[in-house]
Amino acid sequence: MKQYKRSFRFVCDENERNIVEEMLRLQGFTWEQEQFFAYSCRLVDEPFSLGSSLACFFGFLYIQDRASMLPPVALMPKEGAFVLDMCASPGSKTGQLAQIIGKNGFVIGNEVSPQRLATLRRNLQQMGLFQAASCCYEGQNIALPNGYCEFIQLDPPCSGWGTVEKNPNVMEMWKEDKTLPLVKLQKELLKKAEKLLQPNGVLVYSTCTTNKEENEEQVRFAVEELGLEVEKLPDLPEFVLDTPMFGMDGVWRLSPRIGDTQGFFVARLRKKNQGEIYTPNFHSWGENLSENYVKELGIDTSYLAYGDIAVFKESIHFVPHRAKNLPENFAWQGMYMGKVAKSKEVQLNPRVRMGGNLPIIHFEGKQGLEKIKGLLSGQSFNGDYKEKNVLMAWNGLVLGRLKVKNKRLIWSER
């Protein structure tokens, strides 16, 4: 059977991408660029699992089915916007949305399952997306006020018929008579999304199923019962699109195609210029670290232009400035950065790449990649530094932080 040509997207700034691409090439990977999303690519040569590549380990790329990248492309929030991802784990679309809105924006990924929430948070942290935060609510009961959201991504639980190539038993598991609870939940989530939207706000509804009850019929419900309007999506030359059911125009319907993509459905909906709009009441979260202390930790203080670094009991998190207008009763968490030890000493996670005034150990080329692989497998190097941490860089790109222990440099995520 023909296998999927694995898709992924780069998660890095434009000035970093050439370095990340060179890292991939030196490990034997080749790929082709997609056009529908500037960061999206498809593998041509995969000498070993892409998930085991150094670029993936350090969060500079994310493996994602190309059809799964379509909902954020359809939503395409403006730079600096606020976005709610109502059903977020594992964080594929949350992370993609964070790329689109940029460092001045703010996206919250909501996930009801604590176990899946942990996966979401781990993925966002690995990618270094400090403009993304997370929360844990039933989507239909998320504790945000009506009229709060500019943009909403709703990819609800569905039957997953579009993943049949990867999950051959999915059609049997989710026969039509078993999808009724899913259809009911999807309607409840759509109702909540409509209330959360600001007047003229935009909602993208998407599923990875081909079941019309979970797709076109739900869009028809949103239009006829909730008063939303369908906004026509453009053509997708790189995809083979099916004809939507019921003569519906302007939505994307894809059937699963072997070696190409999984099945997906995407619709863009806009709230009419009516309804409530939330007036924020700004306040602080946590105990903010001073600029001088942030500098002492070896963090570039320019990041404070986007938010604060704050202590919550024994945990340190990034607090985007846009989070200051969240309701006080809303439980959420910004990107994890480290912890406060019993000695009151701040211990940053080695994945914090916000390089500041710390020594840098530089690795170069293919030989440097081998040394980095050695560090990740438990080896250590001589490192007679006064500081307790040093930055690790490859070809000038900061990858993370090494601990200095007994004059040895080690990578440790403990």
Active-site residues, by number, are 208
Question: C-alpha dihedral over 112, 116, 122, 127, to 10 degrees?
Answer: -80
Distance CA 2, CA 107 (A): 37
User: Pairing relation of β-strands 132-135 and 229-231?
Assistant: unpaired
| Count of C-beta atoms within a 10 Å radius of residue 351 | 21
| Count of C-beta atoms within a 10 Å radius of residue 334 | 27
Distance CA 316, CA 310 (A): 6
Which residue reads 């000493």 in tokens?
A: 345
Q: Is 308 helix (H, G, I), strand (E, B) or coil?
A: strand
Q: Is 48 left (phi over 0), alpha (psi -120 to 50) or beta?
A: beta
Q: Is 90 helix (H, G, I), strand (E, B) or coil?
A: coil
Which residue reads 């993304």 in tokens?
A: 132
Distance CA 99, CA 358 (A): 27
Distance CA 86, CA 111 (A): 7
Asked if residues 401 and 354 have their Cβ atoms less than 8 Å apart, the reply is no
Instruction: Label residue 108 exposed, middle or buried (CB < 10 Å: 0-12, 13-18, 19+).
Output: buried
State the DSSP code for 244. Answer: P
Distance CA 77, CA 330 (A): 23
Tokens of 127: 């990618």
Peptide bond into 199 cis (omega under 30): no
